[in-house]
Structure 1
Amino acid sequence: MAEQSAHQNVTFPSAGQDAHGYLAKPATGSGPGVIVIQEWWGLTDHIRDVADRLAAEGFVALAPDLYGGWITHDGDEAAEMMQKLPEEEGARLLAGAVDYLLGLEEVTSSKVSAIGFCMGGGFVLALAAQQGDRIAAAVPFYGVGQGVPESFAGVRAAIQGHYATEDTSFPVDQARAQEQQIRDESGAEVTYYYYEAPHAFHNDGNPQGNYRPEAARLAWERAIGFLRGKTN
């Protein structure tokens, strides 16, 4: 009988400090590595659930805590915390997460992939630009905020983006321009999908009520298939 998937809080070195995160492993005990990057709310139960769902799909998923344990459900507080996290600092912490994940014997892939939401979607792109060919695939969901890099020249990962046509935080014309910028500057494989939905449509615990079940289901199916095909 297969064991149940396991999850635990972990500590790992990053940029000369101890960083923390949530690690979820599949029932098989091993699989390709994926980093899950939080929204501006912090490392919430929803992000932990995303890691658990990835583990159920056969991945070893690590969700780093970019806020050092701080969580909010207030939009103004979340915006303030995001502003206090410069791209460089967040990317350095995430680089430590890449090292940690690749060092686990349970991780069977020679590269890791990354998936992130809202602020985390921006940091997914920053991580891909920073880490080059150590990232196999990057999946930003409506990436906004401090994490979005100015240049995508360092990106070597395949990119699959999920963006919303009713997103007032990151209007769809900006998303389309970003899609083309990544393609032009990196030469990487880039596919963006656009959904008739508002920002944060994937988050079924979103305090702002933007969850859209059908768009979320379709985007998740596409993301899982993409990650399976790219992370090995």
Structure 2
Amino acid sequence: MFPAYSNPAILSVSSDLPTQPMKPRFIRRTILPFCFAIAWCLVLFSSNFDSKGSTALSMAYVHADDRPIATAIAQVPPAVPVRTETVQYATVNGKSVSGFLARPEAVTGPLPGIIAIHEWWGLNDNIRAIASRLAGEGYAVLAVDLYNGESAETPDGARALSSSVQDNPDSARDNLRQAYAYLEGSGSLTVGTVGWCFGGAWSLQTALMFPDRVDATVIYYGRLVTDADALVPLQMPILGLFGELDQGIPPSTVREFEAALQAAGKDAQIVIYENAGHAFANPSGTRYQREAAEDAWERTTTFFAEHLK
């Protein structure tokens, strides 16, 4: 049974409006929170609200005042020495796309491949570090770049970059198709996907693009598909990792996703961590929660070892 979930509280708004011209501090502390509260109500309660706008606002809400600092999980060195390089793996809209490739240093032959998809911050050093750590478990890990070489240092910057991808999903799909082809062309006989937050959503989308060719998919609290019919083509096992207190991907939505997977007859393991919020295991950010993140990492590596090796 999943833990209970409560909707986030609406921001309080003073009813005592000033009689003099509004000062910048009043606007910042009163008017702007009021406007955000109205927008958040639309996200939560309007069935007609555009899904792109809903996602952008919900991510802005859960990442308010966040920063892309390295978390503990991205600071653990790989289990074995790894070799890393920047590789051009795709051409999208006439522009070359470079990613970060990591693999165990001592292995020269083909390895199981993993497409690693960055958080909403972008392909930064923390994603490179977690890709290297994952490669140390015995994989060729390609950390892709869906932001055309950019990354964000603020929530506003991350929201703008992630929104640009939501507005142009076909370009992101083309990017990921070529990432899959790159690993397959490099000799990977099995390929898995993993992503965090923004990347968690695209991990699922990559699985839907290659429903009979991706061999294992891990989703860290990404936007979900809850239509059982849309999930029917999936043939790979799925591991979903979520937080009880996540206000962007709430347990109610996770329940719908799990029920849809069950209705479609899929092999899926869904985990919701008590007292964990959104981004609890991100390589970047201030929302890190050690116990849940470490358990999720162990589940991830065990899952990939079982289904990719």
Distance 1:58 1:120, change over 3 A: same
Please say if residues 46 and 203 of structure 1, whose CA atoms lie closer than 8 Å, have aligned partners that are also in contact.
Answer: no
Unpaired runs of at least 5, structure 1? none
Q: Within 5 Å, which residues of 2 pair with 1:11-50?
A: 11-14=88-91, 17=94, 18-29=96-107, 30=109, 31-50=111-130
Unpaired runs of at least 5, structure 2? 1-79
1:136: Cα distance to partner? 0.3
Distance 1:178 1:88, change over 3 A: farther
Percent identical across equivalent pairs? Answer: 33
Q: Which residue of 2 aligns with 1:223?
A: 300
Please state if 1:93 is matched with 2:170: no
Q: Write out per-residue CA displacement over residues 190-216 of structure 1, whole angstroms, 9 at most, x where no aligned residue.
A: 11111120110112531xx21001111
Q: Name the Cα RMSD after superposition.
A: 1.9
Please say if residues 129 and 153 of structure 1, whose CA atoms lie closer than 8 Å, have aligned partners that are also in contact.
Answer: no
Q: Which residue of 2 aligns with 1:191?
A: 269
Please state if 1:177 is matched with 2:256: yes
CA distance in 1, matches of 2:104, 2:273: 30
Please say if residues 241 and 270 of structure 2, whose CA atoms lie closer than 8 Å, have aligned partners that are also in contact.
Answer: yes
CA distance in 1, matches of 2:141, 2:239: 18
My pick for the range that moved more, 70-79 or 33-42, is: 70-79
Please say if residues 116 and 140 of structure 1, whose CA atoms lie closer than 8 Å, have aligned partners that are also in contact.
Answer: yes
1:11: Cα distance to partner? 0.1
Please say if residues 23 and 61 of structure 1, whose CA atoms lie closer than 8 Å, have aligned partners that are also in contact.
Answer: yes
Please state if 1:128 is matched with 2:210: no
Please say if residues 51 and 63 of structure 1, whose CA atoms lie closer than 8 Å, have aligned partners that are also in contact.
Answer: yes
Please say if residues 32 and 59 of structure 1, whose CA atoms lie closer than 8 Å, have aligned partners that are also in contact.
Answer: yes
Please say if residues 193 and 216 of structure 2, whose CA atoms lie closer than 8 Å, have aligned partners that are also in contact.
Answer: yes
1:5: Cα distance to partner? 1.2
Q: State the structure with bigger RCO (CA 8 A, min sep 6), 1 or 2.
A: 2
Q: TM-score if structure 1 supplies the norm length? A: 0.89
CA distance in 2, matches of 1:205, 1:16: 29
CA distance in 2, matches of 1:154, 1:14: 28
Please say if residues 200 and 211 of structure 1, whose CA atoms lie closer than 8 Å, have aligned partners that are also in contact.
Answer: yes
1:176 aligned partner, one-letter code: R
SS at match of 1:182: helix
Query: Highest Rg: 1 or 2?
Result: 2
Query: How many aligned positions are there?
Result: 222
1:104: Cα distance to partner? 0.8
1:90 aligned partner, one-letter code: A
Q: TM-score if structure 2 supplies the norm length? A: 0.68
More strand by share: 1
Please state if 1:9 is matched with 2:86: yes
1:91: Cα distance to partner? 1.9
Q: Which residue of 2 aligns with 1:156?
A: 235
1:72: Cα distance to partner? 0.6
Q: Which residue of 1 aligns with 2:136?
A: 56
